[in-house]
Amino acid sequence: MNARAFHQNLLRALRQDRGNVESSLVLIPLIILFLIAVELIVATNLRNSDFAMAQSDASSRAISGMVNSSDQVIELSSPDSFTHMKLLITSRKHSLPQLVPGLVALLGGNAIVEVKGAAVMENLN
C-alpha cells in the first residue's frame, strides 16, 4: 500500500465521520453548563438546610437559655416596664463544594454560605 492510497483511505474515513467533531465541540460547553447548574442547585439546597438548622438551634437555645459564645443576644426595649425581652441570634457557616474549578473566583465571590437564625429568649423566672 503506497502513501497515496493511505491518504485517500484516510480522507474517505474522515468524510464518513463528519458529525463527531461538531458533537464534541457542543458536548464540552454543555457539560460545563450542566456542572454550573448542579453547583447552583447544591448551593441553594445547602443554604436552605443550613438556615433550617440555624433557626432550630436558635429556637432550642432560646427556650433552654443555653447561649454559646458565638451567639449574639440583643436586649429589646419595650414600653411595658414588666416586659423584658431578649433576642438570640445564631449564625452558621458552611463551605460549598466546587464542581467547576475557578467558577467562584471568576464570579468574584466566596464558596461559603453564612446564615443566621433568630428567636425570642424565654424568661427563666
- Model-level pTM? 0.68
Using 50, 70 and 90 to split pLDDT, how confident is the model at 124? low
Residues 68, 61: contact at Cβ < 8 Å?
A: yes
Q: In terms of Cα–Cα distance, which of 118, 100, 117 is closest to 109? A: 100
23-59, pLDDT tens digit by residue? Answer: 778 888 899 899 888 888 988 898 999 999 999 999 9
